[in-house]
């Protein structure tokens, strides 16, 4: 179980590390106080304190190394911390050597030089400590920015949102900040604030006001994703189409400036819904799910976003086939197998319970009459309806009158006539009515 002991010991590093800090600090204190008359005697304690600090520093280094093996730490910061820590231990050891009798016999350091070296050691300790803090808490944990940072309240409407502060800046930090922020600075670019964007990275300014196509940032996020210069690199999640459009608009129309409320800018009509969606605002329209293939599908906004899985299960238990056509919004395609022997009373209520989610429905060949099917008016989002091979008469068209989204109705092999077909097609706007093997006339093949 030796491996676990390593991990365990490694985790003691944050505890152990404070011992050399205390001892070395005490050594500095004793040495400096030694200059005063009152505490001159403390100077003789410096070598012992230094020795203790050295021993503890070596221990802290060993434990720290164990910790570095198990943890997932930023490599650069880690190596800084490691070097500073080992250096600290070595210098503490050397300083102790300077105080030994054997060394003094060879060479004596003046008290002033010794004190200067001790204070220098203190400085190094501060540096090592800060790097260590950055490792555990993140490099942005203790920076000057924290002093001046004020969190922006989340805008409650698109009108009051600032295009840079509320949208572009958080967007860039979220999608690019992992590599382009103080502490990482890949390509020497930080997306932290507008100033750093305008300063840019090694390829010049990241944004050029008014000119998206000349802006390095915009070029990099819009090139062929297979290109090696495409950003975000290494297959990290790319910016969504909508986000790219917002950035384009910000650079072109908002002149890549900060402090500009969207409402105050010209040509903002097209961008508003996109910003609203990005911010998760905009009333009924929830933030759209990004359609990754970039294909616009016209989905009826009245379809409820979700459906109770219990109700779907209920339908399945009754022998209906329920196919999930889409998860969000929850679109269902329900089929009652032909010749199921079910009466409409068996299934009507269960269908109505998920009525708004049923988009395609197939009740063909089940001996239903048009009065049986009066409940179909409740399934207001129906788009395709199959009722063929049922004893249905012209009355069915009245039951379907409320269905505004109905595109296709299959009434093949029913008892309908031309009246019903006409009514559905002409008055109710159903695009395709199938009436093969009915009294309604057929278009010539």
**Can residue 70 be called a binding residue for another protein (CB under 8 A)?**
yes
> Can you tell me which of 143, 314, 335, 422 binds another protein, judged by CB under 8 A?
335
Determine contact, residues 361/386, Cβ cutoff 8 Å. yes
**Can residue 316 be called a binding residue for another protein (CB under 8 A)?**
no
Determine contact, residues 411/420, Cβ cutoff 8 Å. yes
Q: Which segment (14-22, 207-215, 324-332, 350-358) binds another protein by CB under 8 A?
A: 324-332
Q: Which of residues 2-41 bind another protein (CB under 8 A)?
A: 2-3, 6
> Can you tell me which of 28, 57, 66, 191 binds another protein, judged by CB under 8 A?
66
> Can you tell me which of 118, 277, 331, 351 binds another protein, judged by CB under 8 A?
331
Work out how close the CB of 262 gets to another protein at its nearest, in angstroms, rounded to a whole number.
31
Number of residues forming the site for another protein (CB under 8 A): 47
Q: Which segment (18-26, 80-88, 167-175, 288-296) binds another protein by CB under 8 A?
A: 288-296
Q: Which segment (11-19, 113-121, 154-162, 320-328) binds another protein by CB under 8 A?
A: 320-328
> Can you tell me which of 37, 72, 266, 284 binds another protein, judged by CB under 8 A?
72
> Can you tell me which of 235, 301, 310, 345 binds another protein, judged by CB under 8 A?
235
**Can residue 339 be called a binding residue for another protein (CB under 8 A)?**
no
Which one, 6 or 127, has the nearer CB to another protein?
6
> Can you tell me which of 11, 384, 399, 405 binds another protein, judged by CB under 8 A?
384
**Can residue 224 be called a binding residue for another protein (CB under 8 A)?**
no
- What are the residues whose beta carbons fall under 8 Å from the beta carbon of 372, sequence distance 6 or more? 344
> Can you tell me which of 32, 33, 58, 73 binds another protein, judged by CB under 8 A?
73
Q: Which segment (36-44, 110-118, 327-335, 345-353) binds another protein by CB under 8 A?
A: 327-335
**Can residue 432 be called a binding residue for another protein (CB under 8 A)?**
yes
**Can residue 412 be called a binding residue for another protein (CB under 8 A)?**
yes
Work out how close the CB of 233 gets to another protein at its nearest, in angstroms, rounded to a whole number.
10
List contacts with another protein (CB under 8 A). 1-3, 6, 66, 69-70, 72-75, 135, 138-139, 178-179, 184, 234-235, 291-293, 295, 297, 299, 321, 323-327, 331, 333, 335, 359-360, 384, 386, 388, 408, 410, 412, 432, 434, 436, 442, 445
């Amino acid at each position: 179980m030796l491996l676990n002991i390593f991990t365990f010991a490694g985790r003691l590093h944050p505890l152990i590390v404070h011992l050399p800090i205390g001892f070395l600090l005490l050594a500095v204190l004793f040495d400096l106080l030694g200059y005063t008359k009152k505490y001159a005697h403390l100077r003789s304690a410096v070598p012992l304190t230094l020795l203790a600090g050295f021993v503890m520093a070596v221990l802290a280094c060993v434990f720290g190394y164990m910790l570095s093996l198990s943890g997932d730490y930023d490599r650069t910061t880690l190596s800084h911390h490691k070097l500073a820590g080992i250096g600290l231990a070595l210098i503490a050891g050397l300083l102790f050597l300077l105080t030994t009798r054997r060394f003094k016999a060879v060479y004596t350091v003046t008290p002033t030089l010794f004190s200067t070296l001790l204070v220098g050691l203190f400085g190094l300790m501060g540096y090592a400590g800060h790097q260590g803090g950055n490792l555990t808490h993140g490099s942005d944990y203790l920076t000057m920015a924290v002093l001046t940072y004020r969190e922006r309240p989340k805008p409650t409407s698109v009108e009051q949102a600032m295009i840079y502060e509320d949208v572009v800046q958080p967007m860039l930090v979220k999608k690019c900040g992992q590599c382009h922020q103080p502490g990482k600075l890949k390509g020497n670019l930080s997306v932290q604030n507008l100033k750093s964007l305008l300063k840019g990275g090694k390829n010049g300014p990241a944004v050029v006001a008014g000119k998206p196509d000349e802006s390095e940032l915009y070029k990099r996020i819009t090139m062929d994703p297979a290109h090696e210069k495409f950003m975000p690199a290494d297959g990290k999640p790319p910016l969504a189409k909508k986000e790219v459009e917002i950035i384009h608009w910000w650079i072109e129309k908002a002149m890549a400036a900060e402090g500009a409320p969207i409402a105050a800018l010209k040509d903002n009509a097209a961008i508003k819904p996109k910003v609203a969606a990005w911010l998760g605002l905009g009333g009924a329209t929830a933030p759209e799910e990004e359609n990754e293939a970039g294909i616009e599908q016209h989905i009826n906004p009245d379809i409820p976003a979700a459906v109770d899985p219990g109700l779907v299960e209920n339908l399945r238990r009754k022998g209906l086939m329920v196919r999930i056509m889409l998860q969000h919004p929850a679109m269902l395609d329900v089929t009652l197998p032909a010749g199921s022997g079910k009466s409409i009373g068996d299934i009507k209520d269960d269908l109505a319970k998920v009525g708004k989610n049923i988009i395609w429905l197939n009740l063909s060949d089940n001996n239903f009459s048009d009065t049986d099917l009066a409940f179909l008016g409740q399934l207001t989002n129906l788009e395709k309806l199959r009722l063929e091979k049922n004893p249905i008469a012209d009355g069915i068209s009245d039951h379907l009158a409320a269905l505004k989204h109905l595109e296709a109705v299959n009434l093949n092999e029913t008892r309908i006539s031309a009246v019903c077909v006409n009514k559905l097609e002409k008055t109710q706007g159903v695009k395709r009515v199938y009436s093969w093997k009915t009294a309604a006339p057929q278009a010539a093949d």
